[in-house]
Structure formats: structure tokens, C-alpha cells
Amino acid sequence: MARRLRLPALAAALAACVASVAGCASGTPPATTALTPTFTYSYPLDVITDWDPATSYSNELVALQNVYESLTRYDPGTGTVKPQLATSWSSTAGGLTWTFHLREGVRFHDGNPVTAQAAKAAIARTIAAQGGAAYIWGAVSSIDTPDPHTLVFHLSYAAPMDVIASSDYGAYVYDTAPPGVKPGALKSWLEAAHDTGTGPYTVADWNQGQEAEVTLDAFPGYWGGWSGRHYRQVVFDHTPDVTTAWQTLETGDVDFRSQLNPELFKEATHFRALGTQATASLQNLIAFFNTAAGPLTDVRLRQAVQNAVDYDGLLAALHGSVGPAQGLIPSGLPGNDPALTRHQNLPLARKLLAEAGYGPGGRHLNLSLTYAQGDDAQQLFVTLLSSDLQALNITVDARPMQWNAQWAQAKATDPAHRQDILLMYWYADYASAYSWFVNLFHSAQPVSFNLSYLDDPVVDKEIDAIPQLTATDPAAERANYALLQRQLLEQDAAAAPLFVNTYQRVYASGITGYRDNPAYPDVVFVHDLEPSP
């Protein structure tokens, strides 16, 4: 009897399975999104890697840009910067002196007033920390504070300080002496999820490793005020799984998702309860080759892998969610060079491999690769690369990882424990291409983001020359970028730029005021949003 029941039970199970599949395929309209004073942001990566505004240089940008502010903010609509903590600014002496007038009546979250002295102390601390994006202040030789609301930068070479001050990292103005915190203890105090910003929100809670990772509460004394409708709380959910993110959007449990996949983005455009926005970005995906240890120390193997990548196939398979990589610098920034667009060249890849003793008929090669878990575009690239390389007698051991784990492995003190290939997105710190070179290819110890581990004094010298050229000779700057890119991508073959992202944002349609700002990747300036009543 029991046995007779088994087949119908199986049939029922299969029917339920097929029905659920079919149901998902046809889709059902999402429930009406109920907006609450809480704005929930679904983010695919760990949100926080560093709470210190002086050294922060990673994903936490999405939260910290709502907590801290800089002197200016870049406006993608006009291509210029607009006032933030500084209300006006001017330069004299051919750009060697910059004077910023600070907004009056602004207070830090700890209650202290924002003064020129406090801003100077914050910038001085950031420079001294020499971490993250401290390099942006490289032109600054001294800072004067003639009055409590005037900040004067004296530069050693001309530089666009108004644009530099809008940087997404390293330009935060924060209180270096919060009440009750001993001198020297600021960093550890900040790392315990405290903040000393001036932004509309302040850190309320941090649950490392949990889904609801960061909670920000409205700062009542915010200089921008709270009249009108605003979100009173912001929650950052760490949701690596795209399907889960979609479901939470559908049900209204989250209000914003930075990136789904092209198919779900297209699906979202059909839902009235969801708004979508696609914006060209200044963010590209780069494959970094380990030039310091492992098989890829042989430049011929790096060049072979570069030539084996199916760049055009990748673009086609990603259905319009990315654009072609034209060298290291995305379109829209000085130094972008369409002539550096790459195409697959398998015969050359085979030739290079044969010269190195590998490839079909030669020795077998194993390459380890790490990429971001939950990133569909990266996963798709890995599938294409693995398939193309298998035909060349190369096996790719690809591991999807959480960013913190991926980065930790990449920075392992023993080079033998590092990966052969690492995938990572990069974007400008401010409206300049310098960030790609100084951070990714300048030699650095300890390792930070120079994840091809390149150590080439000639390249370092060329990179160090960029800031001055930017201010004094734009034509020479572009020529230098062209030279550097050919050196890095062709001679050194230290990396392979794969594509430039198109940001595909999905959010609750009841939200008004959202405008993507590619200069601040993935950041939602929540105070600018207006929830539906």
C-alpha cells in the first residue's frame, strides 16, 4: 500500500516543482510597496571594511557618504562641483592657492562646531594616515585658517582643488577630537562604529556579517534640515543573492538595489511598483594578473590569457548592461583611448603559450581565480574564460568569494597564497583617471589595491608625474596616460580591462528625487530622496 502511494506522491512533487517554475517564469505583480520612514538599501557586497574616514577606501562608501561630507560635491549634470560644506571658493596665483569659505552654523554629530581649524585637522589627519585616498591631497603644501570659516590651501603645484575636494574618498571633513575620546584613541573609537561626520545620518548600529549590516539614524541637527518628507532611518542589507534581492524588492522589503542582472533589470521595467534607472558609469571591471608569484610571472602567459579573453562575447552575453573597455580609463575621462579596445586573438594566445611551453600539446597550466560572490557579470566572465582557456590546455580554478575574504587572500603576506587572477571593479576617486594608476599599478608595500603586485620603477616614475601634468599640460597628461596604458596592458600585461559598467538601478517607484551620480558609485544620497506620503 505504501509503495502504491509513492508514484502519485512523486507525480505530485514533480507537478508542484514544474508549477512553481512556471509560476516564476510568468511573474506576478508585486505587492504595493509600503514606504516607511526607513530606507532599505540592498547591497551585494559586505558594506563595511573600514569605518575610519581617513583611510576608508572600499564598499563602505555607500554608507559613509550619508554620514560624512566634503567641501564640495561633484555634479554629473554640469560636470562641475557644487557647494557642500564650503559655500564658495576661489583660486589665485595660477591655481597655487585655493580659498574655501565654510558654511556657518554646521555642527558635527558629536556637537562640536565645524570650523576651519577642525577641517584642517581632519585633512591633516587623512594626509598623515597615508591610507586610502590620501594621495588626493598630494599637491597641498600647507593649509591656513585665517578665520573660523576660511580655509586656504597652498599648493606645491597647480591642481583643481575644488574637484579634488569633491572626491568620494579621503575628502571627508570630520571631527578629530570628539568629546570623551582620548587623543590617539580616535581610530579604535571609530572602528567601533562611531562617527564624527556632519552628514544627514549618523551610525546607529553595525552587525558585521549579518544581513541587516548597517543602520543609520537621522541626525536631527543636520544643516540641510528635515523639513518636507525625508527618510528617518537607513538600513544597508548585505544581500549577495540576486534572486533574494529581487524578491525583497518585489515585496517592498527593500527600497533600492544597486545592481541585479540584465534579465531582472529588464523584468523590473515592466513592474509599475518599481522604478529603474540606467546610467553610464566611470566604473570598470579589471582582471589583475599576479606578476609577482606563480605561473603568471611569465609575461607571455599573461599576454596569452589577455588574448584569450572573448571581450566581444562578454559584451554580447551581458545584454547591454556593460560597454566596451577602452583601455584602463572609462569613456568620459581624459586619457580614454578607443584605440585600446581589445578583441580576442586565439592564434596569438596559442603562439604565446607555445613559446612558454604550454598550450595544446604542451604542459598543462592551472590558474586560480577569485571573484565577487553574487556578481552575475563576473560569473559569466569566468564561465567564458574557463571555456576559452580549456581549449588552450589551461584549467581555471575559480572561487566566488565575499569581498573581505577575496581581498584578504589577495593581500596574504606569503605570495604563494595569493591568487593568479583577481577580478575587481575600480572607479575614479574624483573626475580624473589618476586613481587607476596610482592605486592599481604603483608599487606599494604593504599591498593594498595594487593587486597585480607590479613593482616597476619606470612605471612608478611615470605615474608620479601625472598630477603636475594634469594641472600644467593637459596634452602631455593625455600622452602620458597613453604611454602608461600601453606599457601596463601590452608590455607588462599586468591586467586586462574587461568592460565598463552601466549602472542599472532598481528602486521603489514611490521614491522621488533619486538621481544616479556616477562620481559616487552605488551611493544613494538618501536625504535627497522623498518617500511617497
Partner 1 sequence: MTDVSPTLAPPAPAPDRSAPPTPAARGGQARRLLALARRDLPATVGAVVLLAIVLAAVLAPWLAPYPGDGSHATHPLDTLAGPGGRHWFGTDAVGRDLLTRVMYGARTSLTVAAAVLTVSALVGVPLGVIAGYTGGVVKDVIMRITDVFLAFPALLLSVALATVLHPGTGSAIIAISVGWWPWYARMACVTATGIRSRGFVDAARCLGVSRIRIMARHVLPNALTPVLVQLSLDAGGVILTSAALSYLGLGPQEPTAEWGLMVQQGQDLFITDWWVVAFPGLAILLTAFCFNVLGEGLRSALDPHRELTR
Residue closer to partner 1, measured from CB, 270 or 461: 270
Quote the least distance from Cβ 263 to partner 1, whole Å. Answer: 4
Comparison of 271 and 288: residue with beta carbon closer to partner 1: 271
| 369 class by beta-carbon count within 10 Å (0-12 exposed, 13-18 middle, 19+ buried) | buried
SS (HEC) of 252-301: CCCCEECCCCHHHHHHHCCCCCEEEEEEEEEEEEEEEECCCCCHHHCHHH
Question: At closest approach, how far in Å is the CB of 379 from partner 1?
Answer: 7
- When the beta carbons of 470 and 501 are compared against partner 1, the nearer one is 501
CB of 324 to partner 1, least distance (A): 14
Query: Are 317 and 376 a contacting pair, CB within 8 Å?
Result: no
Nearer of residues 147 and 241 to partner 1, judged by Cβ? 241
> Binding residues for partner 1, per CB under 8 A?
3, 6-7, 10, 14, 17-18, 21-22, 24-25, 27, 241-243, 246, 261, 263-264, 266-267, 310, 312-314, 316-317, 319, 366, 376, 379-380, 382-384, 386-388, 390-391, 395-400
Nearer to partner 1, 401 or 469 (CB): 401
Closest distance of CB 268 from partner 1, Å: 10
List the one residue out of 518, 527, 442, 530 whose CA is nearest residue 168.
518
User: Cβ of residue 319: shortest distance to partner 1, in angstroms?
Assistant: 8
Closest distance of CB 307 from partner 1, Å: 16
- Nearer to partner 1 (CB atom), residue 20 or residue 88: 20
What is the C-alpha to C-alpha distance for residues 343 and 325, in angstroms, rounded to an integer?
10
Helices 299-308 and 346-356: crossing angle in degrees, nearest 10, is 160
Q: Which is nearer to partner 1, 393 or 509 (CB)?
A: 393
Contact in structure between 374 and 240 (CB atoms under 8 Å): yes
CA–CA distances in Å: residue 452 to residues 148, 252, 335, 424: 45, 41, 21, 11
- By beta-carbon proximity to partner 1, the closer residue of 25 and 339 is 25
Q: Shortest distance, CB of residue 345 to partner 1, whole angstroms?
A: 16
Closest to partner 1 by CB, 117 or 383: 383
State the Cα–Cα distance between residues 86 and 150, nearest whole angstrom. 9
What distance in Å separates the CA atoms of residue 267 and residue 231, rounded to the nearest whole number? 27
Q: Which residue has the cell 528602486?
A: 507
Shortest distance, position 31 Cβ to partner 1, whole Å: 16
Q: Which of 146, 157, 189, 148 is nearest to 54 (CA)?
A: 189
CB of 47 to partner 1, least distance (A): 20
CB-based contacts of 301, cutoff 8 Å, min separation 6:
295, 352, 353, 356, 358, 365
**Residue 465 near residue 437 (C-beta atoms within 8 A):** no
Nearer to partner 1, 433 or 500 (CB): 500
Contact yes or no for 506/276 (Cβ under 8 A): yes
Q: C-alpha 272: how far from its chain's center?
A: 29
Cβ of residue 320: shortest distance to partner 1, in angstroms?
12
Between 24 and 128, CB nearer to partner 1:
24
Give 57 or 246: the residue with its C-beta nearer to partner 1: 246
With residue 369 as reference, give the H or E element that holds it: strand 365-372
Phi, psi torsion values for 282, nearest 5 degrees? -110, 30
- Minimum CB separation of residue 24 from partner 1 in Å reads 5
Angstrom distance (rounded) from CA 512 to CA 81: 23
Question: 124-133: string of b/e by CB count within 10 Å (b at 16+)?
Answer: bbbbeeebbb
In angstroms, give the least distance from the CB of 518 to partner 1.
Answer: 24
CB-based burial of residue 236 (10 Å sphere; 0-12 exposed, 13-18 middle, 19+ buried)? buried
User: What is d(CA 386, CA 389) in angstroms, rounded to the nearest whole number?
Assistant: 5
